[in-house]
Amino acid sequence: MIAKILTGSGKGCLKLLQYITTKDNQVITSNNILPNLKITEVVKEFKKTQSLNNRCTKNLMHIVLSFPKSEKINSFKMKNISEDFIKAFNANDCMSITYQHYDREHPHLHIALNKVKNDGSILSDSFSHLRAREICRKIEQIYDLEQISNYSTKNKNTSIEKIKEDIDAAILASRSFQQFIEIMAIYNYKVLKGRGVSFIYNLSST
């Protein structure tokens, strides 16, 4: 099980949800929000809560949980895994909605999560990638899943490492280069394509 996390501005909430819901998907669970709302209604609810704390500009989190192709995981199990991950991530008080996708061979799901809680406090995302890896290892044990050992649990809390993690998450969520560019834009990256590919991060949006 691999967790990839991207954090961005609530301004990209509509684009994120449009991307998540354009593919073969179903809502498997939601937290502090009704699961059957239209996308525009979900965005409205997210923004209403985000307005409680204007100091937090990076108030939207996109979490992708992926599993090996060999794993056979039904929707009920995916629902439980998603809820366990959110609880272990200390995000139970946050508004979130989880979609299971069926557009690839490997099982995976997307979680759109509002970092601003109903009381206006903010979900801490300190060391989020490291925490997510540790949670994945625990969930693998609980559900007897194939254990992924190619990720170091060593703390690499540097800007370069963060950018690598963001790029990996965007690649995992994309099926084309254009989709990759659009997802990176949501999270304040500008992708430049020449002989190679380079990235510009907008620091003013942090």
Q: Which domain holds residue 111?
A: 2-172
Asked whether residue 54 is domain-assigned, the answer is yes
Asked whether residue 13 is domain-assigned, the answer is yes
Asked whether residue 188 is domain-assigned, the answer is no
Tokens of 44: 């409205």
Each residue's pLDDT tens digit, 117-164: 999 999 988 888 889 999 999 999 999 998 875 444 444 445 666 677
Q: What is the pTM of this model?
A: 0.74
Q: DSSP assignment of 118-187, as one string?
A: TTS-B---TTHHHHHHHHHHHHHHHTTPPPP-SS--S---SHHHHHHHHHHHHHHH-SSHHHHHHHHHHT
Whether 111 and 63 have beta carbons less than 8 Å apart is answered as yes
Asked whether residue 164 is domain-assigned, the answer is yes
pLDDT bracket for residue 205 (50, 70, 90): very low
Give the total number of structural domains in the chain. 1
Q: What CATH code is carried by the domain that includes residue 33?
A: 3.30.930.30
